[in-house]
Structure 1
Amino acid sequence: MNDLPRRPVLAGVHDPDRTGLAARFLAHTWPAGYRVVGVPAADPVLAVAAHTARPEVDVYAPGDDGGAAYFGEVYDPAADAPARLLRTTWDAAGPEGLGWIDAQGSGVVWSEGGREVALVRDRAGVPPLFYAEHGTALLWATDLTTLLASGVARAVDLHALDAYLAMGCLPAPWTLVEAIRKVPPAHALVRRGREATTVRYWLPVVWPKVRREKRLVPALKERIEASLARRTATGGPFAVLLSGGVDSSLILAGLRRWLDVPVTAYTFDYEGYEGPWNEYERAHRLARHLGVRHEKVPMGPAWVADRLPSLLRQYEEPFTFGIHTARLETLSAGSIGTVLTGALPGFPVAWELPGTIRLALAIEARGIPKGLLRGVRWMFRLGPLKRLRPVVELSSHPLPEMYTRKGVNMILSAETRSRIYRDPRLVETGKMARQAVMEALTPTAGVQNPEDRMALMGSAMLPAEHILWWNHRWGEAHGLWFRYPYLDRDVVTFLARLRGDRNKTLLREVAATIMPREIAFAPKLGQAAPLWRWLAMPPLRDLVRATLTPERLAATGLFRTEPILQALEEHLQGRRAHQWLLWTILSFLLWQEHVLDAPAPDPRLI
């Protein structure tokens, strides 16, 4: 199994018809550190392999009747071992009970001698959990590479590709491999025999709403401090990825001022660029104020060009924004064990929404029929009503389309994608498929407020399939485990009920109790590497030229060569910025070469 990635993996086969797949899975030569379980031991229906040499992977299998395996951490020191806790909670309360476990992880629960199995993905989505059908059997793993090593068909999902080019990430159940799906965050895929259903097991309490007031500062502070304490009880030495924003600044200050936890801060510094996205100096002000060791991590085009194929193998899919935190060898060389970040949940949704979207959601909340809104848009073309036209235009679209129009969630426009596709109809069919996927991620029962529904949809996408995904994958490559204090169940529930906080004011007031107010209330810029500049600099420029050739583009059967090569020349000559078009196509082509079309192992996993 040397062909499998060097990362902790939880994988298995559910073979209710006993076709021999589970037995072949068990018979595979697994590397040292894996525990393999067959249920029942003779003529198995279920087979599970878990990399138990890593502390984050645990197996509980007392006998043939039932058991569990878990990849993650439980933050309650009085709780059972993670896999046993998963099993006993499932027995006592079913799927709904899982949402109350104070944990970060995904796992599998089985019962009735393996005839029933449930794949449970973490509330926030880390780690991911993939599955694929193989005849009447179901294969699953916490990584894509294991499933590809099982002989799964390797065709590209075209609607998923359009979603990647449009948004930069893939909402569940999509992956770029048509035969492989993933369980959505906070959901369990329950399979009994050949029949499978997906159930949501957790929703934050979003009602009644509480207006943002200064009197709530102690309550939020108490929850964040408790979350930090639980996430630093084990696993040091600790590090914080420190930007210039209040989110990570409060994590660092809380560790030092509230808990006196030794910690090192790291900030990425982008080479070949001088501008506001380089946040080292601002971050260093806080580190110096707290007396914290602060390291600069240089990132530049040469490092990216040299490592991009290996980064794609680790990430397992093409990626976009995540490049800016990929260089973590500095942390592992410093003997760091656990990294804490300021990643936030999707609540309150007003924290990231422009005013136009907020007004459109207010119209949505009034229940005005969208057909009526589309019919009266002409009234807002002239005169004083003209300023309201963007709001009415947004309100006439379904909620998923409103979400994608926020800006931060769009990479390439529909117009750009239609120019580069050989079949431009993919733009429209992709949009319809994307809308259906996003609507499926948006609960409606008990969640009537459009802002709450958008926040829940956003939580299942941008954090889970984007920010947390890249942190998890880059951390795995260097033996680092990431923890997310703001994704604590109690913190999320508190934030989900908050209303009227459009500038993280309450979070900033908490921060101002332990750092200078000018730092707590400093404006925040989005984090992203300066790709527009790097793509025009050697040697990344040379990699782009060598990869985006007419022959390679034509060989995909997906893209038109001329508009992509024209965009490349315009970008390199400085006439027009096309960084996301060039980067997404570059990332996709190299992913095809180094992941999707990489030679299958011999012998295969099953």
Structure 2
Amino acid sequence: MCGITGIYSTRGAVSPGLISAMTDAIIHRGPDDGGFFCDGPIAIGNRRLAIIDLSPGGHQPMAFTEGDMWMVYNGEVYNFIELRAELRAKGYQFNTQSDTEVVLKAFHAWGTDAFTRLRGMYAVAIWDKRTQTLTLARDPFGIKPLYIAQCGDDIVFGSELKSLRLHPEFPKELNASALSFYLSHMYVPEPHSIYAKVERLPQGHWMKLGPNGRTTGKFYNPEPPAAASKRSYGETVEELVHVMEESVKAHLVADVPVGVFLSGGVDSSIVVAMMRRAGVDNIKTFTIGFEGAFASYDERQYANIIAKHFQTDHQEIVVQPSIVSLLEDRLIQKFDEPFANPAALIADVLSEFTRSKVTVALSGVGADEFFAGYPRYQGMLIMDQFRRVPGWMIEAAQKALSAMPKSPDRRNWIERARRLFNATNVPASSRYEALTRFTGDLQVNSLMNPDIAQRVDGTSVLPGITTSDGHLLEQLLQLDRETYLPGDLLTYTDRASMTHSLEVRTPFCDIVVDKFARTVPANYKIRRNELKFILKDGFKTIVPPEVMFRPKKGFSVPIGEWLLGPLKPMLHDLLSIENLNKQYYIEPKRAREILTAFEAGEHQYAFLLWAILIFLLWDSRINSIS
């Protein structure tokens, strides 16, 4: 695991001083080693966190034997031993035990087809001196980040925006559509960034930069939703357990200690169970407990059930955090873009604690997007059936719900029903976006400076959804795997862990698991209103049932209480007329109206104010001074 950065210039030689500074900016991602390489129009840099082959032989940038190809690489490839054997059979020789050397020589042997053979998480940059071509690539699920910016005559790339912003011509114009989506969803969707001229290389894609310009290609093309599998339910469960055991075992390859985040939920419990089945004797599990404002979200009792059942070396950290210090020190300073999912705060604290004991941790992230773990999937399936309900009945329900009191809790049954009925008569893509918004029916563009709002692209940033082919659920899962998973969950997993030099691996985000999950019929994933049914039912004899079948709780923090309590002084300072008039993006009068309404009892605005607060902090602490 590492961090990478680089420059491809059309104006001539690149400054060694610039690439050195860009590399040093991400030293937290790789404190064990670092280096950079310059060659005419190219400069690439790397910071290394040694995980596989701890010797100096894994130093990057790494050169091919003849020195005609150089690479920097962030991530892990779990099938590197098999690939190395295949390459040896083709005549390649190896000087290290690292997966880095295997990736480099695989590209030399197969070109971009090499990426179709890699099983793992990665962002890679390879410079071919023979063709004067730079190739960038990113793993199939976007586990590892890779930003790309056009800075004058240079194309600059890297694992984090903090490296790119060091370029003297970094383009700071904001992406109006990304800002609009952020205000309503609390994250910036892939492949966009908060900046108009900065993008993220899409998951499962490569990009070539060279004398012939820029070309891109998609190397990960999973099969479309298949017809119902011919396997019986029992056979499907048997294969599920085998696939998960094999995936977890593959994700254990390392030359350093490996642990696991244990939340006490279904997904992390399955990872622990599969570690035990894979033969790990001393499983180190890590859990965070809460006191104070977070106390109602403490799930240590369930984590302890799993730890005791599988006899793990279980360690807990109990925190009574100050939300003000968490916000300033962790969420704002460590994220390069506005990011408002409060779960990132907890991931940061847990990662810091875990890193004091191990260098690698497994996580259950991704299970919901592969096996249908969110209530909104049920909502979409229900709304699809509403097409058969007479219009007058829909209108009556909408009218009744509009008269009911509003709540800041998106899990409140009235709020869920309101979102369902209000989104009934709109296209499927817009319907799903409505279900995932934190702002209800409010048009967030009205909160933006009119000059910014008029630049918002009227089309949805989410891929299209149809309801005519019988695969609605699989389309929803794929949509979340392309947007919410990489843009939100994997983003905060990467930033929160790598800021503490901890590598987090996600066995559910795996090409073998993905291939299998696509063959599992929808009625195995959701059955009798039970989400992730096959996961829970399939592992009920392996994992204690009191954990497997307890209601999904999620992490819903008291945003409204924070804004009315410890964050109130900060909120009033940032949303003062004086401060709002100093910035360009948020429309002052409308923001003040929302604040006044919230403090008068309209608590449905809590998440919107939270998103505005994060954005204004980011703009003043990061964007305006970079």
Give the TM-score category using the shorter length. 0.7 to 0.9
Of 468, 487, 490, the match for 2:509:
487
Distance 1:286 1:29 in 2: 43
Of 204, 216, 220, the match for 1:198:
216
1:524 and 2:520 matched: no
Range that drifts further, 237-246 or 116-125:
237-246
Distance 1:443 1:383 in 2: 25
Of 37, 43, 49, the match for 1:47:
43
1:576 and 2:613 matched: no
1:207 and 2:226 matched: yes
Aligned to 1:269: 289
Distance 1:9 1:258 in 2: 30
Aligned to 2:142: 125
Residues 105-504 of structure 1: matches in 2 within 5 Å? 105-113=122-130, 115-151=132-168, 152-193=170-211, 195-205=213-223, 206-210=225-229, 213-234=233-254, 236-273=256-293, 277-300=297-320, 302-305=322-325, 307-321=327-341, 322-328=344-350, 331-332=353-354, 334-344=356-366, 346-349=369-372, 352-358=375-381, 380-382=390-392, 397-405=426-434, 407=435, 409-413=436-440, 415-423=442-450, 426=453, 430=456, 432-433=458-459, 435=460, 437-439=461-463, 449-499=471-521, 500=523, 501-502=525-526, 503-504=531-532
From the superposition, tell whether residues 398 and 574 of structure 1 become closer, same or farther in structure 2 (CA, over 3 Å): closer
AA of the residue aligned to 1:411? F
Is 1:361–1:451's contact at 8 Å kept on the other side of the alignment? no
1:450-481 residue CA offsets vs partner (Å, 9 max, x unmatched): 54343322212111111111011011121211
From the superposition, tell whether residues 422 and 330 of structure 1 become closer, same or farther in structure 2 (CA, over 3 Å): closer
From the superposition, tell whether residues 29 and 393 of structure 1 become closer, same or farther in structure 2 (CA, over 3 Å): closer
From the superposition, tell whether residues 125 and 212 of structure 1 become closer, same or farther in structure 2 (CA, over 3 Å): farther
Provide the secondary structure at the position in 1 that maps to 2:603.
coil
* Regions of 4+ moved over 6 Å: 27-30, 384-393
1:195-236 residue CA offsets vs partner (Å, 9 max, x unmatched): 223321103334344277133222111111111112223254
From the superposition, tell whether residues 512 and 410 of structure 1 become closer, same or farther in structure 2 (CA, over 3 Å): same
Aligned to 2:38: 38
* TM value normalised by structure 2: 0.80
1:585 and 2:612 matched: yes
From the superposition, tell whether residues 571 and 228 of structure 1 become closer, same or farther in structure 2 (CA, over 3 Å): same
Provide the secondary structure at the position in 2 that maps to 1:498.
coil
Residues 81-92 of structure 1: matches in 2 within 5 Å? 81-92=98-109
Deviation of the 1:583 alpha carbon: 1.4
Range that drifts further, 546-555 or 91-100:
91-100
Aligned to 2:576: 549
Aligned to 2:4: 10
AA of the residue aligned to 2:516? F
Distance 1:531 1:290 in 2: 35
* TM value normalised by structure 1: 0.83
AA of the residue aligned to 2:556? A
Distance 1:125 1:420 in 2: 31
Deviation of the 1:246 alpha carbon: 0.9
Aligned to 1:73: 76
Taking CA–CA contacts closer than 8 Å with sequence separation of 6 or more, which of the two structures ends up with the larger relative contact order? 1
Provide the secondary structure at the position in 2 that maps to 1:124.
coil
Deviation of the 1:94 alpha carbon: 4.2
Aligned residues: 565
Provide the secondary structure at the position in 1 that maps to 2:617.
helix
From the superposition, tell whether residues 67 and 29 of structure 1 become closer, same or farther in structure 2 (CA, over 3 Å): closer
Aligned to 1:602: none
Task: Determine what percentage of the aligned residue pairs are the same residue.
Answer: 20
Provide the secondary structure at the position in 1 that maps to 2:334.
helix
Distance 2:301 2:552 in 1: 14
Distance 1:64 1:482 in 2: 32
Is 1:340–1:483's contact at 8 Å kept on the other side of the alignment? yes
AA of the residue aligned to 2:378? G
Deviation of the 1:8 alpha carbon: 4.4
Provide the secondary structure at the position in 1 that maps to 2:349.
coil
Distance 2:428 2:103 in 1: 34
Aligned to 1:367: none
Distance 2:22 2:423 in 1: 55
Is 1:214–1:506's contact at 8 Å kept on the other side of the alignment? no
Distance 2:293 2:352 in 1: 21
From the superposition, tell whether residues 61 and 323 of structure 1 become closer, same or farther in structure 2 (CA, over 3 Å): same
AA of the residue aligned to 1:76? N
Is 2:439–2:604's contact at 8 Å kept on the other side of the alignment? no
Distance 2:222 2:558 in 1: 36
Is 1:115–1:193's contact at 8 Å kept on the other side of the alignment? yes
Deviation of the 1:150 alpha carbon: 0.8
Unaligned runs of 5+ in 1: 1-6, 364-372, 600-606
1:257-309 residue CA offsets vs partner (Å, 9 max, x unmatched): 54234233333334434776332223323223333344444455515435524
1:148-178 residue CA offsets vs partner (Å, 9 max, x unmatched): 0012022222221111112222222311122
RMSD: 3.5
Deviation of the 1:247 alpha carbon: 0.9
Is 1:235–1:337's contact at 8 Å kept on the other side of the alignment? no
Is 2:76–2:99's contact at 8 Å kept on the other side of the alignment? yes
From the superposition, tell whether residues 203 and 452 of structure 1 become closer, same or farther in structure 2 (CA, over 3 Å): farther
Provide the secondary structure at the position in 2 that maps to 1:486.
coil
Provide the secondary structure at the position in 1 that maps to 2:585.
coil
1:408-457 residue CA offsets vs partner (Å, 9 max, x unmatched): x312245251442342982x863624x2x433xx799xx99454343322
AA of the residue aligned to 1:355? Q
Distance 2:228 2:18 in 1: 50
Provide the secondary structure at the position in 2 that maps to 1:326.
helix
Distance 1:430 1:478 in 2: 36
Unaligned runs of 5+ in 2: 25-30, 53-58, 85-97, 399-417
Distance 1:241 1:332 in 2: 8
Is 1:343–1:484's contact at 8 Å kept on the other side of the alignment? yes
Distance 2:250 2:474 in 1: 28
Aligned to 1:515: 543
Range that drifts further, 202-211 or 476-485:
202-211
Distance 1:282 1:268 in 2: 12
Distance 1:431 1:297 in 2: 45
Provide the secondary structure at the position in 2 that maps to 1:113.
coil
